[in-house]
Amino acid sequence: MAETKREIERKYDAPTDPFRLPDLLKVPGVSAVVDKGVVELDAVYYDTEDQRLATDRITLRHRTGGDDAGWHLKLPVALDEGVRDEVQAPPSATLPRSFAGLVRSRVRDAELIPVVRLRSSRDVSHLTGADGSLLAEVCVDAVRAERPDGKRTTAWTEIEVELADGADPAFLGKVEKRLRKAGVERSGSASKLARALEETGAARRPKRKAAGRGDTAGAHVLAHLRAQRDALVELDPAVRRDLPDSVHQMRVATRRIRSAFKTYKKVLDPAVTGPVGEELRWLAAELGIDRDREVLTERITGRMDALPRTLLLGPVRGRLRIWAVARRQGSRRHTVAVLDGRRYLDLLTALDALLADPPLKSAAKRPAADVLAKAALKDHARLATRIEHALALPTGEDRDLAMHDARKAAKRARYAGETAVPALGKRAKRFARGMKDVQTVLGDHQDSVVARETLRDLAIQAHAAGESAFTWGLLYGQEQATAAERERELPEVWKRAAEPDLSAG
Residues of the chain with CATH 1.40.20.10: 217-497
Helices 270-306 and 342-356 pack at an angle, to 10 degrees, of: 130
The residues, ordered by sequence, that sit 6+ positions from 49 with a Cβ below 8 Å of its Cβ are: 110, 111, 113, 204
Q: Are 345 and 104 in contact (CB under 8 A)?
A: yes
Measure the CA dihedral 370/376/382/388, to 10°: -110
Cβ-based neighbours of 128, under 8 Å, separated by 6 or more: 30, 31, 32, 33, 34, 134, 135
Handedness of CA 387, 391, 393, 394 (dihedral sign): positive
What confidence score (pLDDT) does residue 427 get? 93
DSSP state of 150: S
CA 269 to chain CA mean position, Å: 29
In DSSP terms, 64 is beta-bridged to: 42
Q: What's the rounded Cα separation, in Å, for the pair 451 and 301?
A: 11
The reported pLDDT for the residue numbered 464 is: 95
Amino acid occupying residue 400:
D
DSSP-derived secondary structure for 186-250: E-SSSSHHHHHHHHTT-------PPPPPSSBHHHHHHHHHHHHHHHHHHHHHHHHTT-TTHHHHH
| pTM score, whole prediction | 0.88
> What amino acid occupies position 421?
V
> Which CATH number applies to 217-497?
1.40.20.10
Residue type, 180: R
* DSSP-derived 3-state class of residue 471: helix
- Return the pLDDT at 473: 96
Q: Where in the chain do CATH 2.40.320.10 domains reside?
A: 3-199
Look at residue 149 in the predicted model and tell me its pLDDT.
Answer: 87
pLDDT in tens, the chain (505 residues): 578 889 999 999 998 878 899 999 999 999 999 999 999 999 999 999 999 999 999 999 999 999 999 999 999 886 566 789 999 999 999 999 999 999 999 999 999 999 999 999 999 999 999 999 999 999 999 999 999 888 899 999 999 999 999 999 999 999 999 999 999 999 988 889 999 999 998 888 655 544 444 689 999 999 999 999 999 999 999 999 989 889 999 999 999 999 999 999 999 999 999 999 999 999 999 998 777 888 899 999 999 999 999 999 999 999 999 888 876 767 778 899 999 999 999 999 999 999 999 999 999 999 999 999 999 999 999 999 999 999 999 999 999 999 999 999 999 999 999 999 999 999 999 999 999 999 999 999 999 999 999 999 999 999 999 999 999 999 999 999 999 999 999 999 999 998 888 865 4
Burial of 181 (0-12, 13-18, 19+ CB in 10 A): exposed
3-class state of residue 6 by DSSP: strand
Q: Please, what is the Cα angle at 255 between 253 and 259, to 5 degrees? A: 120
Q: Would you give the DSSP letter of residue 394?
A: P
Q: What is the pLDDT of residue 505?
A: 46
Predicted local distance difference test score (pLDDT) of residue 211:
45
pLDDT of residue 79: 57
Write the secondary structure of 151-198 as one string of H (helix), E (strand) and C (coil). CCEEEEEEEEEEECCCCCCHHHHHHHHHHHHCCCEECCCCCHHHHHHH
User: E-assigned strands of 48-133?
Assistant: 59-64, 70-76, 83-89, 113-128
Look at residues 287, 167, 306 and name the one whose alpha carbon lies nearest to residue 239.
287
Contact 106, 58 (CB under 8 A): yes
The partner residues of 121 in beta bridges, in order of sequence, read 40, 142
CATH class in words for 3-199: mainly beta
| Runs of H (alpha helix) within 91-157 | 97-102, 104-107
Which of 197, 192, 124, 136 shows the shortest CA–CA distance to 163? 136
User: For residue 94, what pLDDT is reported?
Assistant: 95
Element (H, E) at 47: strand 32-47
Determine the pLDDT at residue 210.
46
Q: Is the Cα torsion angle 268, 271, 274, 279 positive or negative in sign?
A: negative
CA distances from 11 to 4, 53, 139, 166, 211 (A): 21, 20, 10, 20, 32
For residues 299 and 61, what is the distance between their CA atoms, to the nearest angstrom? Answer: 42
Report yes or no: 245 and 223 within 8 Å, Cβ to Cβ: no
CA proximity to 266, closest of 370, 347, 356: 370
